[in-house]
Structure 1
Amino acid sequence: MKIEIWSDVMCPFCYIGKNNFEQALQKLPFKDQVEVEWKSFQLDPTLNTGETKNTLTYFREKKGFPEAQATQMISQVTQIGKGAGIDFNFETALITNTFPAHKLLHLSKKYNKSNEMEEALFIAHFIDGKNVGDVDTLAEIAESLGIDKEEAKHAVTSEELTSEVNEDIQQARNNGITGVPFFVLNGKYAVSGAQPVEVFENALQQTYKETVSPFTDLSNGENVCGPDGCSI
Protein backbone atom coordinates (compact mmCIF):
# COMPACT_ATOMS: atom_id res chain seq x y z
CA MET A 1 0.00 0.00 0.00
CA LYS A 2 1.44 3.37 -1.00
CA ILE A 3 1.09 6.56 1.01
CA GLU A 4 2.04 9.86 -0.63
CA ILE A 5 2.62 12.78 1.73
CA TRP A 6 2.86 16.38 0.56
CA SER A 7 4.79 18.42 3.08
CA ASP A 8 7.00 21.46 3.63
CA VAL A 9 9.99 21.56 5.95
CA MET A 10 8.87 24.75 7.70
CA CYS A 11 5.31 23.51 8.35
CA PRO A 12 4.90 22.56 12.04
CA PHE A 13 1.71 20.65 11.37
CA CYS A 14 3.60 18.55 8.83
CA TYR A 15 5.99 17.47 11.58
CA ILE A 16 3.09 16.77 13.95
CA GLY A 17 1.25 14.89 11.22
CA LYS A 18 4.33 12.78 10.49
CA ASN A 19 4.62 11.74 14.12
CA ASN A 20 0.92 10.93 14.47
CA PHE A 21 0.88 9.03 11.18
CA GLU A 22 3.90 6.96 12.18
CA GLN A 23 2.42 6.17 15.59
CA ALA A 24 -0.75 4.95 13.88
CA LEU A 25 1.19 2.87 11.37
CA GLN A 26 3.16 1.08 14.07
CA LYS A 27 -0.09 -0.24 15.55
CA LEU A 28 -1.14 -2.00 12.35
CA PRO A 29 -0.31 -5.59 11.39
CA PHE A 30 0.31 -4.63 7.75
CA LYS A 31 2.81 -1.84 8.55
CA ASP A 32 5.58 -3.62 6.63
CA GLN A 33 3.45 -3.54 3.49
CA VAL A 34 3.23 0.26 3.48
CA GLU A 35 5.45 2.35 1.22
CA VAL A 36 5.73 6.05 2.10
CA GLU A 37 6.69 8.66 -0.51
CA TRP A 38 7.36 12.22 0.58
CA LYS A 39 6.26 14.91 -1.86
CA SER A 40 7.40 18.52 -2.06
CA PHE A 41 5.17 21.50 -1.33
CA GLN A 42 6.22 25.10 -0.66
CA LEU A 43 4.19 27.24 1.71
CA ASP A 44 6.00 30.41 0.65
CA PRO A 45 8.09 30.18 -2.54
CA THR A 46 8.56 33.97 -2.53
CA LEU A 47 11.09 33.84 0.30
CA ASN A 48 14.70 34.66 -0.49
CA THR A 49 17.01 31.65 -0.16
CA GLY A 50 19.78 33.91 1.10
CA GLU A 51 17.67 35.46 3.86
CA THR A 52 16.24 34.18 7.12
CA LYS A 53 13.64 35.50 9.54
CA ASN A 54 12.57 34.32 12.96
CA THR A 55 9.06 32.93 13.22
CA LEU A 56 7.53 35.92 15.02
CA THR A 57 8.98 38.41 12.52
CA TYR A 58 7.79 36.29 9.61
CA PHE A 59 4.21 36.15 10.85
CA ARG A 60 4.23 39.88 11.52
CA GLU A 61 5.90 41.06 8.30
CA LYS A 62 4.82 38.47 5.72
CA LYS A 63 1.41 37.44 7.06
CA GLY A 64 0.38 40.74 8.64
CA PHE A 65 -0.49 39.25 12.02
CA PRO A 66 -0.28 41.50 15.08
CA GLU A 67 2.49 40.39 17.42
CA ALA A 68 0.05 39.29 20.12
CA GLN A 69 -1.86 37.10 17.67
CA ALA A 70 1.33 35.62 16.26
CA THR A 71 2.61 34.86 19.75
CA GLN A 72 -0.65 33.15 20.66
CA MET A 73 -0.57 31.04 17.48
CA ILE A 74 3.00 29.93 18.17
CA SER A 75 2.06 29.03 21.75
CA GLN A 76 -0.91 26.94 20.56
CA VAL A 77 1.15 25.03 18.00
CA THR A 78 3.82 24.43 20.65
CA GLN A 79 1.26 22.80 22.92
CA ILE A 80 -0.13 20.65 20.11
CA GLY A 81 3.43 19.61 19.30
CA LYS A 82 4.03 18.45 22.85
CA GLY A 83 1.05 16.15 22.50
CA ALA A 84 2.77 14.55 19.50
CA GLY A 85 6.09 14.25 21.30
CA ILE A 86 7.72 17.29 19.68
CA ASP A 87 9.38 20.13 21.60
CA PHE A 88 9.21 22.94 19.09
CA ASN A 89 11.80 25.69 19.49
CA PHE A 90 10.19 28.52 17.55
CA GLU A 91 12.46 31.10 19.18
CA THR A 92 15.42 29.84 17.15
CA ALA A 93 13.63 28.47 14.07
CA LEU A 94 14.82 30.25 10.92
CA ILE A 95 12.23 30.85 8.20
CA THR A 96 13.72 30.74 4.70
CA ASN A 97 13.05 29.42 1.20
CA THR A 98 12.83 25.64 1.47
CA PHE A 99 13.37 24.75 -2.19
CA PRO A 100 17.01 23.66 -1.56
CA ALA A 101 15.82 21.40 1.25
CA HIS A 102 13.30 19.81 -1.10
CA LYS A 103 16.09 19.10 -3.57
CA LEU A 104 17.97 17.29 -0.82
CA LEU A 105 14.85 15.30 0.02
CA HIS A 106 14.65 14.13 -3.59
CA LEU A 107 18.33 13.18 -3.55
CA SER A 108 17.71 11.05 -0.46
CA LYS A 109 15.17 8.98 -2.40
CA LYS A 110 18.10 7.63 -4.42
CA TYR A 111 19.37 6.03 -1.21
CA ASN A 112 15.94 5.03 0.20
CA LYS A 113 16.40 7.51 3.02
CA SER A 114 13.66 10.03 2.32
CA ASN A 115 11.82 9.35 5.58
CA GLU A 116 15.03 9.77 7.56
CA MET A 117 15.81 12.93 5.61
CA GLU A 118 12.37 14.40 6.25
CA GLU A 119 12.82 13.79 9.97
CA ALA A 120 16.35 15.24 9.94
CA LEU A 121 15.15 18.38 8.15
CA PHE A 122 12.31 18.87 10.62
CA ILE A 123 14.73 18.51 13.54
CA ALA A 124 17.22 20.89 11.96
CA HIS A 125 14.56 23.54 11.38
CA PHE A 126 12.27 23.23 14.40
CA ILE A 127 14.57 21.92 17.13
CA ASP A 128 18.14 22.91 16.31
CA GLY A 129 17.46 26.30 14.73
CA LYS A 130 19.52 25.53 11.62
CA ASN A 131 19.14 27.29 8.29
CA VAL A 132 17.64 24.65 5.96
CA GLY A 133 18.23 26.94 3.01
CA ASP A 134 21.98 26.96 3.54
CA VAL A 135 24.07 24.71 1.30
CA ASP A 136 26.67 23.74 3.91
CA THR A 137 24.00 23.02 6.50
CA LEU A 138 22.12 20.77 4.11
CA ALA A 139 25.34 18.99 3.14
CA GLU A 140 26.05 18.28 6.81
CA ILE A 141 22.55 16.87 7.26
CA ALA A 142 23.08 14.64 4.23
CA GLU A 143 26.42 13.44 5.57
CA SER A 144 24.81 12.53 8.89
CA LEU A 145 22.62 10.10 6.93
CA GLY A 146 25.54 8.59 5.02
CA ILE A 147 25.13 10.65 1.86
CA ASP A 148 28.27 12.19 0.37
CA LYS A 149 28.59 15.89 1.19
CA GLU A 150 29.82 16.90 -2.24
CA GLU A 151 27.00 15.04 -3.94
CA ALA A 152 24.56 16.79 -1.63
CA LYS A 153 26.04 20.21 -2.39
CA HIS A 154 25.80 19.55 -6.10
CA ALA A 155 22.20 18.38 -5.78
CA VAL A 156 21.24 21.47 -3.82
CA THR A 157 23.02 24.03 -6.02
CA SER A 158 22.46 22.56 -9.49
CA GLU A 159 19.26 22.30 -11.51
CA GLU A 160 19.31 18.50 -11.74
CA LEU A 161 16.51 17.96 -9.21
CA THR A 162 14.59 21.17 -9.81
CA SER A 163 12.14 19.51 -12.19
CA GLU A 164 11.38 16.73 -9.69
CA VAL A 165 10.51 19.23 -6.97
CA ASN A 166 8.40 21.25 -9.39
CA GLU A 167 6.59 18.12 -10.55
CA ASP A 168 5.48 17.45 -6.98
CA ILE A 169 4.30 21.03 -6.57
CA GLN A 170 2.41 20.92 -9.88
CA GLN A 171 0.87 17.57 -8.99
CA ALA A 172 -0.41 19.12 -5.78
CA ARG A 173 -2.03 21.92 -7.76
CA ASN A 174 -3.58 19.44 -10.18
CA ASN A 175 -5.05 17.52 -7.27
CA GLY A 176 -6.42 20.63 -5.62
CA ILE A 177 -4.03 20.43 -2.68
CA THR A 178 -3.76 23.89 -1.13
CA GLY A 179 -2.47 23.03 2.34
CA VAL A 180 -0.15 20.56 4.02
CA PRO A 181 0.31 18.00 5.35
CA PHE A 182 -1.77 16.10 2.82
CA PHE A 183 -1.81 12.30 2.80
CA VAL A 184 -3.02 10.28 -0.19
CA LEU A 185 -3.74 6.68 0.77
CA ASN A 186 -3.17 4.20 -2.04
CA GLY A 187 -4.62 6.63 -4.57
CA LYS A 188 -8.11 6.20 -3.10
CA TYR A 189 -8.52 8.28 0.04
CA ALA A 190 -6.98 11.45 1.44
CA VAL A 191 -6.32 12.77 4.92
CA SER A 192 -5.66 16.47 5.26
CA GLY A 193 -3.90 18.05 8.21
CA ALA A 194 -2.17 16.84 11.35
CA GLN A 195 -4.96 14.54 12.43
CA PRO A 196 -4.93 12.54 15.69
CA VAL A 197 -3.37 9.08 15.73
CA GLU A 198 -6.79 7.42 15.80
CA VAL A 199 -7.89 9.16 12.59
CA PHE A 200 -4.80 7.95 10.74
CA GLU A 201 -5.22 4.45 12.15
CA ASN A 202 -8.83 4.19 11.01
CA ALA A 203 -8.06 5.67 7.59
CA LEU A 204 -5.19 3.25 7.03
CA GLN A 205 -7.27 0.26 8.09
CA GLN A 206 -10.14 1.24 5.81
CA THR A 207 -7.83 1.85 2.87
CA TYR A 208 -6.05 -1.46 3.37
CA LYS A 209 -9.32 -3.34 3.66
CA GLU A 210 -10.74 -1.82 0.48
CA THR A 211 -7.68 -1.76 -1.74
CA VAL A 212 -5.22 -4.39 -0.53
CA SER A 213 -6.68 -7.15 1.61
CA PRO A 214 -8.34 -10.23 0.05
CA PHE A 215 -12.09 -10.36 -0.48
CA THR A 216 -14.24 -10.81 2.60
CA ASP A 217 -16.44 -13.88 2.12
CA LEU A 218 -19.99 -12.97 3.18
CA SER A 219 -21.31 -16.51 2.64
CA ASN A 220 -21.08 -19.58 4.87
CA GLY A 221 -18.56 -21.33 2.62
CA GLU A 222 -20.84 -24.26 1.73
CA ASN A 223 -21.46 -25.90 -1.67
CA VAL A 224 -17.98 -25.26 -3.04
CA CYS A 225 -15.33 -27.56 -4.45
CA GLY A 226 -11.59 -27.27 -4.03
CA PRO A 227 -8.43 -29.37 -4.51
CA ASP A 228 -9.33 -31.45 -1.44
CA GLY A 229 -12.90 -32.16 -2.47
CA CYS A 230 -16.32 -30.59 -2.09
CA SER A 231 -18.16 -29.28 0.96
CA ILE A 232 -21.91 -29.51 1.28
Structure 2
Amino acid sequence: MKIEIWSDVMCPFCYIGKRHFETALEKLPFKNEVEVEWKSFQLDPTLSTSETKNTVSYLMDRKGFSENQSAQMVNQVSKMGKMTGLDFNFDQALVTNTFPAHKLLQLSKKYHQSSEIGEALFKAHFVHGENVADTEFLISLADEWGIDADKARQALTSDQFDHEVIQDISEAQHNGIRSVPFFILNGKYAVSGAQPVEIFENALQQAYEETVSSLKDFSDDGNACDADGCTN
Protein backbone atom coordinates (compact mmCIF):
# COMPACT_ATOMS: atom_id res chain seq x y z
CA MET A 1 0.00 0.00 0.00
CA LYS A 2 1.35 3.42 -0.94
CA ILE A 3 0.88 6.68 0.95
CA GLU A 4 1.74 10.02 -0.69
CA ILE A 5 2.19 13.00 1.62
CA TRP A 6 2.48 16.61 0.51
CA SER A 7 4.02 18.94 3.10
CA ASP A 8 6.23 21.99 3.53
CA VAL A 9 9.15 22.37 5.91
CA MET A 10 7.86 25.62 7.43
CA CYS A 11 4.33 24.28 8.02
CA PRO A 12 3.85 23.50 11.75
CA PHE A 13 0.75 21.44 11.07
CA CYS A 14 2.80 19.31 8.67
CA TYR A 15 5.19 18.53 11.53
CA ILE A 16 2.29 17.68 13.84
CA GLY A 17 0.59 15.67 11.08
CA LYS A 18 3.79 13.73 10.41
CA ARG A 19 4.03 12.78 14.06
CA HIS A 20 0.35 11.74 14.23
CA PHE A 21 0.59 9.74 11.01
CA GLU A 22 3.75 7.90 12.05
CA THR A 23 2.31 7.16 15.50
CA ALA A 24 -0.79 5.66 13.87
CA LEU A 25 1.22 3.64 11.36
CA GLU A 26 3.47 2.23 14.07
CA LYS A 27 0.42 0.73 15.80
CA LEU A 28 -0.69 -1.26 12.77
CA PRO A 29 0.44 -4.86 12.07
CA PHE A 30 0.91 -4.17 8.35
CA LYS A 31 3.23 -1.17 8.83
CA ASN A 32 6.06 -2.89 6.96
CA GLU A 33 3.83 -3.28 3.91
CA VAL A 34 3.30 0.47 3.57
CA GLU A 35 5.38 2.58 1.19
CA VAL A 36 5.50 6.27 2.14
CA GLU A 37 6.47 8.94 -0.39
CA TRP A 38 7.00 12.51 0.79
CA LYS A 39 6.02 15.12 -1.77
CA SER A 40 7.17 18.73 -2.07
CA PHE A 41 4.82 21.67 -1.53
CA GLN A 42 5.51 25.36 -0.98
CA LEU A 43 3.21 27.48 1.13
CA ASP A 44 4.86 30.68 -0.06
CA PRO A 45 7.12 30.41 -3.11
CA THR A 46 7.35 34.23 -3.29
CA LEU A 47 9.78 34.32 -0.37
CA SER A 48 13.44 34.94 -1.10
CA THR A 49 16.05 32.27 -0.41
CA SER A 50 18.49 35.02 0.61
CA GLU A 51 16.29 36.57 3.32
CA THR A 52 14.64 35.39 6.52
CA LYS A 53 11.82 36.72 8.69
CA ASN A 54 10.58 35.83 12.15
CA THR A 55 7.21 34.11 12.33
CA VAL A 56 5.20 36.93 13.92
CA SER A 57 6.52 39.51 11.45
CA TYR A 58 5.80 37.17 8.57
CA LEU A 59 2.18 36.61 9.66
CA MET A 60 1.70 40.35 10.01
CA ASP A 61 3.13 41.06 6.55
CA ARG A 62 1.68 38.10 4.66
CA LYS A 63 -1.69 37.61 6.36
CA GLY A 64 -2.36 41.13 7.53
CA PHE A 65 -2.76 40.04 11.15
CA SER A 66 -2.07 42.37 14.02
CA GLU A 67 0.94 41.67 16.22
CA ASN A 68 -1.38 40.43 18.96
CA GLN A 69 -3.29 38.14 16.58
CA SER A 70 -0.04 36.73 15.22
CA ALA A 71 1.32 36.08 18.70
CA GLN A 72 -1.92 34.37 19.75
CA MET A 73 -1.82 32.10 16.69
CA VAL A 74 1.79 31.16 17.39
CA ASN A 75 0.99 30.37 21.03
CA GLN A 76 -1.98 28.23 20.02
CA VAL A 77 0.09 26.19 17.59
CA SER A 78 2.82 25.81 20.21
CA LYS A 79 0.28 24.32 22.62
CA MET A 80 -0.89 21.88 19.93
CA GLY A 81 2.72 20.90 19.36
CA LYS A 82 3.32 20.20 23.05
CA MET A 83 0.32 17.87 23.10
CA THR A 84 2.06 15.90 20.34
CA GLY A 85 5.44 15.97 22.05
CA LEU A 86 6.90 18.70 19.84
CA ASP A 87 8.56 21.83 21.22
CA PHE A 88 8.11 24.63 18.71
CA ASN A 89 10.49 27.54 19.14
CA PHE A 90 8.82 30.20 17.03
CA ASP A 91 10.98 32.96 18.51
CA GLN A 92 13.95 31.36 16.74
CA ALA A 93 12.26 30.00 13.58
CA LEU A 94 13.45 31.66 10.37
CA VAL A 95 10.79 31.95 7.68
CA THR A 96 12.33 31.70 4.21
CA ASN A 97 11.90 30.08 0.80
CA THR A 98 11.88 26.31 1.29
CA PHE A 99 12.74 25.30 -2.29
CA PRO A 100 16.35 24.37 -1.39
CA ALA A 101 15.12 22.22 1.50
CA HIS A 102 12.79 20.40 -0.88
CA LYS A 103 15.70 19.73 -3.23
CA LEU A 104 17.51 18.03 -0.36
CA LEU A 105 14.37 16.01 0.38
CA GLN A 106 14.25 14.88 -3.24
CA LEU A 107 17.90 13.83 -3.05
CA SER A 108 17.22 11.95 0.20
CA LYS A 109 14.75 9.71 -1.64
CA LYS A 110 17.72 8.21 -3.47
CA TYR A 111 19.07 7.13 -0.09
CA HIS A 112 15.68 6.01 1.26
CA GLN A 113 15.94 8.62 4.00
CA SER A 114 13.22 11.13 3.11
CA SER A 115 11.31 10.59 6.36
CA GLU A 116 14.46 11.02 8.45
CA ILE A 117 15.67 14.07 6.52
CA GLY A 118 12.17 15.55 6.65
CA GLU A 119 12.13 15.12 10.43
CA ALA A 120 15.59 16.70 10.68
CA LEU A 121 14.47 19.69 8.58
CA PHE A 122 11.36 20.23 10.68
CA LYS A 123 13.46 20.14 13.84
CA ALA A 124 16.07 22.44 12.34
CA HIS A 125 13.44 25.01 11.39
CA PHE A 126 11.03 24.86 14.32
CA VAL A 127 13.33 23.94 17.21
CA HIS A 128 16.88 25.07 16.43
CA GLY A 129 16.18 28.15 14.31
CA GLU A 130 18.33 27.04 11.39
CA ASN A 131 18.03 28.63 7.94
CA VAL A 132 16.61 25.83 5.76
CA ALA A 133 17.43 27.80 2.61
CA ASP A 134 21.14 27.99 3.44
CA THR A 135 23.18 25.70 1.20
CA GLU A 136 26.00 25.11 3.67
CA PHE A 137 23.60 24.17 6.46
CA LEU A 138 21.73 21.76 4.19
CA ILE A 139 24.99 20.13 3.08
CA SER A 140 26.05 19.65 6.70
CA LEU A 141 22.64 18.16 7.50
CA ALA A 142 22.95 15.75 4.59
CA ASP A 143 26.41 14.77 5.73
CA GLU A 144 25.11 14.01 9.24
CA TRP A 145 22.76 11.46 7.71
CA GLY A 146 25.41 9.81 5.58
CA ILE A 147 24.54 11.51 2.31
CA ASP A 148 27.70 12.34 0.40
CA ALA A 149 28.49 16.03 0.88
CA ASP A 150 29.72 16.49 -2.70
CA LYS A 151 26.50 15.00 -4.09
CA ALA A 152 24.46 17.20 -1.77
CA ARG A 153 26.36 20.28 -2.90
CA GLN A 154 25.87 19.37 -6.55
CA ALA A 155 22.15 18.85 -6.00
CA LEU A 156 21.73 22.12 -4.12
CA THR A 157 23.81 24.34 -6.40
CA SER A 158 22.41 23.08 -9.71
CA ASP A 159 18.97 22.46 -11.19
CA GLN A 160 19.37 18.71 -10.68
CA PHE A 161 16.21 18.25 -8.58
CA ASP A 162 14.27 21.35 -9.61
CA HIS A 163 12.04 19.33 -11.91
CA GLU A 164 11.09 16.85 -9.17
CA VAL A 165 10.11 19.63 -6.77
CA ILE A 166 8.11 21.46 -9.43
CA GLN A 167 6.48 18.21 -10.55
CA ASP A 168 5.27 17.47 -7.01
CA ILE A 169 3.82 20.98 -6.70
CA SER A 170 2.12 20.67 -10.10
CA GLU A 171 0.69 17.30 -9.11
CA ALA A 172 -0.72 18.87 -5.96
CA GLN A 173 -2.40 21.58 -8.01
CA HIS A 174 -3.80 18.97 -10.40
CA ASN A 175 -5.27 17.08 -7.43
CA GLY A 176 -6.82 20.24 -6.02
CA ILE A 177 -4.51 20.34 -3.01
CA ARG A 178 -4.48 23.86 -1.61
CA SER A 179 -3.25 23.24 1.93
CA VAL A 180 -0.90 20.85 3.68
CA PRO A 181 -0.33 18.35 5.10
CA PHE A 182 -2.29 16.29 2.60
CA PHE A 183 -2.25 12.51 2.52
CA ILE A 184 -3.41 10.29 -0.35
CA LEU A 185 -3.82 6.64 0.61
CA ASN A 186 -3.39 4.17 -2.22
CA GLY A 187 -4.41 6.80 -4.76
CA LYS A 188 -7.98 6.62 -3.48
CA TYR A 189 -8.50 8.10 0.00
CA ALA A 190 -7.56 11.62 1.07
CA VAL A 191 -6.80 12.84 4.56
CA SER A 192 -6.26 16.57 4.94
CA GLY A 193 -4.61 18.34 7.84
CA ALA A 194 -2.99 17.28 11.11
CA GLN A 195 -5.76 14.87 12.03
CA PRO A 196 -5.75 12.98 15.35
CA VAL A 197 -3.89 9.68 15.52
CA GLU A 198 -7.19 7.76 15.61
CA ILE A 199 -8.32 9.26 12.29
CA PHE A 200 -5.08 8.23 10.59
CA GLU A 201 -5.28 4.78 12.13
CA ASN A 202 -8.83 4.22 10.90
CA ALA A 203 -8.09 5.56 7.42
CA LEU A 204 -4.98 3.41 7.06
CA GLN A 205 -6.86 0.33 8.26
CA GLN A 206 -9.70 0.90 5.80
CA ALA A 207 -7.38 1.53 2.87
CA TYR A 208 -5.34 -1.57 3.69
CA GLU A 209 -8.40 -3.81 4.07
CA GLU A 210 -9.74 -2.66 0.69
CA THR A 211 -6.35 -3.28 -0.89
CA VAL A 212 -6.20 -6.83 0.48
CA SER A 213 -9.83 -7.46 -0.53
CA SER A 214 -9.12 -6.23 -4.05
CA LEU A 215 -6.13 -8.55 -4.36
CA LYS A 216 -8.24 -11.46 -3.12
CA ASP A 217 -10.94 -10.69 -5.67
CA PHE A 218 -8.42 -10.84 -8.49
CA SER A 219 -6.89 -14.06 -7.21
CA ASP A 220 -10.31 -15.72 -7.15
CA ASP A 221 -10.77 -15.08 -10.86
CA GLY A 222 -8.34 -17.83 -11.92
CA ASN A 223 -6.25 -17.26 -15.05
CA ALA A 224 -3.09 -17.75 -13.05
CA CYS A 225 -0.14 -20.07 -12.93
CA ASP A 226 1.76 -21.65 -10.09
CA ALA A 227 4.16 -24.56 -9.62
CA ASP A 228 1.35 -27.05 -10.33
CA GLY A 229 0.24 -25.50 -13.59
CA CYS A 230 -2.29 -22.96 -14.83
CA THR A 231 -6.00 -22.47 -14.24
CA ASN A 232 -8.66 -20.43 -15.95
**TM-score (normalizing by structure 2):** 0.91
Identity of aligned residues (%): 65
Per the alignment, residue 191 of structure 1 pairs with 191
Per the alignment, residue 59 of structure 1 pairs with 59
Q: Are 1:6 and 2:6 counterparts?
A: yes
Note the alpha carbon deviations across 1:18-63, whole angstroms, 9 max, x for none: 0000000011010000010000000000000000001011111122
- Report the Cα distance in structure 2 between the residues aligned to 1:212 and 1:152, rounded to whole angstroms: 39
Which AA in structure 2 matches 1:119? E
Per the alignment, residue 150 of structure 2 pairs with 150
Which has the larger helix fraction?
2
Per the alignment, residue 134 of structure 2 pairs with 134
- Report the Cα distance in structure 1 between the residues aligned to 2:132 and 2:63, rounded to whole angstroms: 21
What is the CA-CA distance between 1:211 and the residue it aligns to? 1.6
Per the alignment, residue 206 of structure 2 pairs with 206
Per the alignment, residue 103 of structure 2 pairs with 103
- Report the Cα distance in structure 2 between the residues aligned to 1:73 and 1:155, rounded to whole angstroms: 36
- Report the Cα distance in structure 1 between the residues aligned to 2:125 and 2:156, rounded to whole angstroms: 17
- Report the Cα distance in structure 2 between the residues aligned to 1:78 and 1:100, rounded to whole angstroms: 26
Per the alignment, residue 87 of structure 2 pairs with 87
The gaps in structure 2 that reach 5 residues or longer are 218-232
- Report the Cα distance in structure 2 between the residues aligned to 1:7 and 1:158, rounded to whole angstroms: 23
- Report the Cα distance in structure 1 between the residues aligned to 2:171 and 2:161, rounded to whole angstroms: 16
CA RMSD of aligned residues (A): 1.3
What is the CA-CA distance between 1:212 and the residue it aligns to? 2.8
Per the alignment, residue 177 of structure 1 pairs with 177
Per the alignment, residue 228 of structure 1 pairs with none
- Report the Cα distance in structure 2 between the residues aligned to 1:174 and 1:118, rounded to whole angstroms: 24
- Report the Cα distance in structure 1 between the residues aligned to 2:216 and 2:166, rounded to whole angstroms: 39
- Report the Cα distance in structure 2 between the residues aligned to 1:63 and 1:48, rounded to whole angstroms: 17
Q: Are 1:75 and 2:75 counterparts?
A: yes
- Report the Cα distance in structure 2 between the residues aligned to 1:212 and 1:139, rounded to whole angstroms: 41
Q: Are 1:19 and 2:34 counterparts?
A: no
Which AA in structure 1 matches 2:10? M
- 5 Å-filtered alignment, 1:152-171, equals 152-171=152-171
Per the alignment, residue 229 of structure 1 pairs with none
Partner secondary structure for residue 131 of structure 2: coil
**TM-score (normalizing by structure 1):** 0.91
- Report the Cα distance in structure 2 between the residues aligned to 1:8 and 1:145, rounded to whole angstroms: 20
Per the alignment, residue 35 of structure 1 pairs with 35
- Report the Cα distance in structure 1 between the residues aligned to 2:101 and 2:186, rounded to whole angstroms: 26
- Report the Cα distance in structure 2 between the residues aligned to 1:6 and 1:190, rounded to whole angstroms: 11
Per the alignment, residue 220 of structure 2 pairs with none
- Report the Cα distance in structure 1 between the residues aligned to 2:162 and 2:37, rounded to whole angstroms: 17
The gaps in structure 1 that reach 5 residues or longer are 217-232
- Report the Cα distance in structure 2 between the residues aligned to 1:152 and 1:140, rounded to whole angstroms: 9
Runs of 4+ in 1 over 6 A off after TM superposition: none
- Report the Cα distance in structure 1 between the residues aligned to 2:15 and 2:121, rounded to whole angstroms: 10
Per the alignment, residue 44 of structure 2 pairs with 44
- Report the Cα distance in structure 1 between the residues aligned to 2:99 and 2:212, rounded to whole angstroms: 35
Quick check: which has more Rg, 1 or 2? Answer: 1
Note the alpha carbon deviations across 1:142-182, whole angstroms, 9 max, x for none: 01100112211211120011001000000000000000000
Partner secondary structure for residue 178 of structure 2: coil
